[in-house]
Structure 1
């Protein structure tokens, strides 16, 4: 018989994979009308960061990296750079997870926005050093703004839709007893 805590963690990991599959599928759909529009937010990052702050055990870092490598391959982006920067960003959040649980949401949102900004700037610098063609700086900033704006929506969906709350001291013990 499987431990209920392990089963719950496994099911939420599968749910995260399902969310990422839907996001990647919708990115591949030909929905563009040809006119220039706002760049879409990176919802995979939004959900990965939101879940890492709340329940880091539900989102293994290597799983997020694997999903982003697949997304890079399907979107013909430079493979490996986004997963590398995301791993660094997620690990920064994991190291601050205990502090962020005690802080209000605005502090969490600001921390995530700073990490997103650092990731975008570092990506642009690395691509520039290797002379890889990239989008204009304005589009990158607009994509960053869209991702930061959609982060609270991803948090709201995670909390209200999937009931992923922040871990508090003793939650693991209580969850193991009630399941």
Structure 2
């Protein structure tokens, strides 16, 4: 019952925001001055999806939207587009969190991969439709593949370091009854 207490839920919501800010901080550090020929994984997106599937109560749509909007502004992306797509993708995954409670990690990973691919495709399509300059398609594909490959790392770190585990059926029942 301690895992579903309001204090624990609010602490983990604050931890998600703090972890997101930490990821953004390290992403903005000027460690390399040369342009890269590959795109790093979007760890923020992988983290939001891992937490959305494992503990949807820790990441409400508003906090995901605000964190991703801040990331859009800091990373000089079109403000709100990726935030909206992320909120929609995480919302879709949250709706599927109950069926994934009893499923294997491979099916969870596959659904995350499909949602990540959908987000990247819609993002590119909308930016193309409005004539916004974009990175090469190869960089976008590399970033999606690397984010899909980094998803198990995000799950492992969330589970082992922060204790973000899937809800047991009794915990889910207790959470829904509140």
If the TM-score is normalised by the length of the shorter chain, which range does it land in? over 0.9
Whether 1:18 and 2:24 are equivalent positions in the alignment is: no
CA 1:99–1:173 in structure 2 vs 1: closer, same or farther (change >3 Å)?
closer
Name the TM-score, length of structure 2 as normaliser: 0.92
What residue in structure 2 maps to residue 154 of structure 1? 154
CA RMSD of aligned residues (A): 1.5
After superposition, what is the alpha-carbon deviation per residue over 1:96-129, rounded to whole angstroms, capped at 9, x for unaligned?
1111111100000000000000000010000000
Which 4+ residue blocks in structure 1 deviate beyond 4 angstroms? 172-175
The gaps in structure 1 that reach 5 residues or longer are: none
After superposition, what is the alpha-carbon deviation per residue over 1:31-71, rounded to whole angstroms, capped at 9, x for unaligned?
12404242111111111111111110001111011011111
Within 5 Å, give how 1:166-177 maps onto structure 2: 166-172=166-172
What residue in structure 1 maps to residue 90 of structure 2? 90
Q: How many residues align?
A: 172
- What is the rounded CA distance, in whole Å, between the counterparts of 1:173 and 1:131 in structure 2? 47
- What is the rounded CA distance, in whole Å, between the counterparts of 1:36 and 1:16 in structure 2? 29
Shift of 1:174: 7.1
The gaps in structure 2 that reach 5 residues or longer are: none
Whether 1:139 and 2:142 are equivalent positions in the alignment is: no
